Structure 1
Amino acid sequence: MPETVKTRIPARMDRLPWSGWHWLVVLGLGTVWILDGLEVTIVGAIASRLSEEDALGISEYQVAVGGTFYILGAATGALGFGYLTDRLGRKKLFLASLGLYLVATIATGFTWSAYSFWIFRFFTGLGIGGEYAAINSAIDELIPARARGWVDLAINGSYWLGAAFGAALSGVLLDKDLFGADLGWRLAFFLGAILAVAIMLVRRHVPESPRWLMIHYRNDEAEQLVGEIEEEVSRRTGQTLSEVGPDDEIEIRQRHSTGFVEIARTLFRDYKRRSILGFTLLATQAFVYNAVIFTFSLILTNVFDVDSGVAGLYLIPFGIANFLGALLLGRLFDTVGRRIMISSTYFIAAVVLAVLAALLAGGSLGLTGYMVLLCIAFFVASAAASAGYLTVSETFPLEIRAMAIAFFYAISTGIGGAVGPLLFGKLLGGDDPTGVAVGYWIAAGLMALAAIVEVVLGVDAEQQSLEEIAPPLSEET
């Protein structure tokens, strides 16, 4: 017979003042997105080098297939690790997923053929995909409700720091005067492994989610852990923590796991509107971002005659604009509110993309104007995209939180990662900007659609406890 416990753990975690302990959580869990951005950018930058005979000697098509394997691995990893994260705990899986990434990216640096490259890229994606489920669920359950929006957006937006760093780094590592043709690109992957080791050393000190522990027959351990966190936060801040009253107490019927039938019923019956919302937000941003990123250098070289050797460097201002958007706009998601900010950012991004498309079609846009408008559009779109992950991670019950993140990430990434680049690539058609403009109009239309869906189905989750937004399935009422 399942045991029932009464607990105030969620309220105790949410009332904690911000402290160095929370920065430990952010550094230990959040910095992995820098690795993801670094991975994707580096592979795009070294694609032409891998096809050279004195390097790996595989074709550019085979390099592109490696990207498909990476996306397939990420989708598979998200689903597999997502299910295990809800079943076995956040900490075990965010250590395992990072460990898998570490081994796989080192192996990629020792690639000797197209087939080995594909296999290692799949396993690298497997680890990164697992991170999305394990990390987003853990962060939401450890960060106070009043700062959850800003922290989530800033962390997800840090992907673009990795992208900008990767773009800058590629220029150095691919310089044959500094590194041999078959050495520089390998060092890029080894660098990712070094960063992963540093993250792992910090991550070891991040605790398991007390919210997960309280449900899985480990409530005494959860109570002890929260007490230790409270002592540390109080010591670091010099503040005496306020008492949590009986009104903040919830009663939980503990469980070992949640079955697939209950997961499906919760997602598609009990939370159907939120499922539609989550899928729309994530699929839209995945389509737009993958379409733009995978054809970024092609547009610069074909439409604006930028030399292919320096095209990747334009990702530096693009990446910085994306990161600053998520960082600077993030606080408004906790104050102005989720529904207003999410719908506004999607809509504003749509308008700027439509203007960009119109100017491209009219032939009145130069390289500088293109980059300025693109950076403005994605300064806003970055906050919108990160808010998609925030929405999914905070609007479903604790027992299936990681699985919900994994499911919507896998489906949206699979669709956006496949359709977006293929469609944009088809529309490029040489140096005629009209085809590119059509692609941006489609992207603008999808972003506008997501804005409308957010207005209709959005959840006003700002400043609320996770348990208020979506009561645990195990809660006794």
Structure 2
Amino acid sequence: MGTVYLVGQIAGALIFGRLSDKLGRRKLFILTLVIYLLASGIAGLSPNYAFLAVFRFFAGMGIGGEYAAINSAIDELIPSKYRGRVDIAINGTYWGGAALGSAANLFFLNDEIFAENVGWRLGFFLGPILGLAIIYLRRHIPESPRWLMTHGREEEAERTVDEIERRVQNEGGVLEPVDDAKAITVKATESIPFRTIARVLIRQYPKRTLVGATMMVTQSFLYNAIFFTYALVLENFYDVEQSAVSYFFFPFAIGNLIGPLVLGHLFDVWGRRKMIFLTYGVSGAVLALSAVLFSMDVLTATTQTILWCVSSFFASAGASSAYLTVSEIFPLELRSQAISYFFTLGQIAGAIAPTLYGVLIGDGSDRGPLTIGYFVGAAVMIIGGVVALVFGVDAERRSLESITEPLSTVRDGD
């Protein structure tokens, strides 16, 4: 079932990512959320496995498209000096949902409270109920003025900007004047051909493509290696009952949630490259330390979970910064599609990790293979940080246009 959901995520990212660049951010981040919520709710009514698989696929599509559309919208609406912390915090809230789901599972999957065929269905209904509030809030988020300008809707873009300025001033905010020298002229564009996208990613910005691919692949590999096998580790090496695994996952999810909230502002203050290197590097170092202690058989289920929490505190902020990075270092006209391509690379690489680590775990009789696996995972994460430090872009507190000029820019004489 996890594979079906993963394939759905990839399909959704690729399909809705292109539609987000073509039809607008706002339409797509509402549509993808509706698809996810409806599919999740319908999955709770599944009469058989095939029915469940189909709607888990559609739920995955919604989530995959969500990553592309919402990250584009955030970057294009949030002021540059706050863009890093806001993007990282919003991406990190995924783990708030994971923590809530873990807590809910302790209740819904309790056979003493609900029948075996009832509890898991109620869990699927929880998301759509909470999602109604999110849809309501998103209705008040405007379309990206940047997207509107590049699609020939200048008047609508001006009205949106004027409304945002009025809200800021009504709340006592002070708007700094914009230097006319920074103004650029753009022309309306249609959908960007795939050959142009390939040229931009491979020929025009090869180092940025390397950074985006490396960051997404390394964080996805590490996360999936831990996330999808932590239960097996607890059961096979620490004799934790399957019914008790959720108690250990809850603090793991909380660590992942707190990291982006605490560290996010430093990506704007200290800088992108420094913080990416720090978060990727520290998370890898802590995982390497846990590998040493694991091999010595001196950890308990609790101390193992604590080390995972510390590692994920940094890794979650780093992983969120991967989405921030790929959403701000490529041209406006293909922003959502760029996110979707790197997201797909990350998901494919991440899909390998659970199978590989499942083999390394085995029946729990030999700690050696998994120890090596943890060292490999640590090295992979550290490599991701080093690549970002060397080839990354100092995007903090800079406008998106100063980071990457739009493809639709009109130069003097054009």
TM-score by length of 2: 0.97
Of 127, 134, 137, which residue of structure 2 is paired with 1:192?
Answer: 127
2:66 matched to 1:145? no
2:344 matched to 1:410? yes
Of 252, 255, 260, which residue of structure 1 is paired with 2:189?
Answer: 255
CA contact (8 A) 2:288 2:375 kept: yes
Indicate the SS of the match to 1:285. Answer: helix
> Structure 2: how far apart are the matches of 1:135 and 1:206?
11
> Structure 2: how far apart are the matches of 1:200 and 1:212?
21
Instruction: Give the match for residue 62 of structure 2.
Output: 127
Instruction: Give the match for residue 163 of structure 2.
Output: 228
Of 348, 357, 373, which residue of structure 1 is paired with 2:291?
Answer: 357
CA contact (8 A) 1:91 1:207 kept: yes
The 1:240/1:163 distance shift into structure 2, 3 A limit, reads closer
User: Pairwise CA RMSD of aligned residues?
Assistant: 1.1
Instruction: Give the match for residue 353 of structure 2.
Output: 420
Indicate the SS of the match to 2:111. Answer: coil
Instruction: Give the match for residue 329 of structure 2.
Output: 395
> Structure 1: how far apart are the matches of 2:235 and 2:102?
16
Matches within 5 A, 1:36-47: none
> Structure 1: how far apart are the matches of 2:174 and 2:133?
33
> Structure 2: how far apart are the matches of 1:121 and 1:129?
12
Shift of 1:247: 1.6
Write the deviation string for residues 328-368 of structure 1: whole angstroms up to 9, x where unpaired: 11111101111111011111111111111111112222223
2:182 matched to 1:239? no
Shift of 1:240: 4.6
CA contact (8 A) 2:45 2:121 kept: yes
CA contact (8 A) 1:157 1:327 kept: yes
> Structure 2: how far apart are the matches of 1:107 and 1:301?
32
Indicate the SS of the match to 1:183. Answer: helix
Instruction: Give the match for residue 176 of structure 1.
Output: 111
Matches within 5 A, 1:341-380: 341-380=275-314
Write the deviation string for residues 99-141 of structure 1: whole angstroms up to 9, x where unpaired: 2112211110111111111111100000110000000000100
> Structure 2: how far apart are the matches of 1:231 and 1:442?
52
User: Which contiguous aligned blocks of 4+ residues in structure 1 show a shift greater than 6 angstroms?
Assistant: none
Shift of 1:162: 1.0
CA contact (8 A) 1:217 1:256 kept: no
2:374 matched to 1:430? no
CA contact (8 A) 2:84 2:265 kept: yes
Amino acid at match of 1:176: D
Indicate the SS of the match to 2:231. Answer: helix
CA contact (8 A) 2:152 2:187 kept: no
Of 392, 404, 408, which residue of structure 2 is paired with 1:470?
Answer: 404
Q: How many residues align?
A: 410
Shift of 1:435: 2.5
Moved more, 362-371 or 104-113: 362-371
Amino acid at match of 1:426: V
CA contact (8 A) 2:168 2:174 kept: no
Of 205, 217, 221, which residue of structure 2 is paired with 1:271?
Answer: 205
CA contact (8 A) 1:74 1:126 kept: yes
Structure 1: give runs of 5+ residues left out of the alignment: 1-65
Instruction: Give the match for residue 329 of structure 1.
Output: 263
> Structure 1: how far apart are the matches of 2:119 and 2:179?
59
Of 392, 398, 411, which residue of structure 2 is paired with 1:458?
Answer: 392
Instruction: Give the match for residue 2 of structure 2.
Output: 67
> Structure 1: how far apart are the matches of 2:175 and 2:59?
43
Of 359, 379, 383, which residue of structure 2 is paired with 1:445?
Answer: 379
Write the deviation string for residues 236-269 of structure 1: whole angstroms up to 9, x where unpaired: x223533323123111122122111111111111
Instruction: Give the match for residue 109 of structure 1.
Output: 44
Write the deviation string for residues 8-44 of structure 1: whole angstroms up to 9, x where unpaired: xxxxxxxxxxxxxxxxxxxxxxxxxxxxxxxxxxxxx
Matches within 5 A, 1:70-85: 70-85=5-20
Q: Percent identity?
A: 48
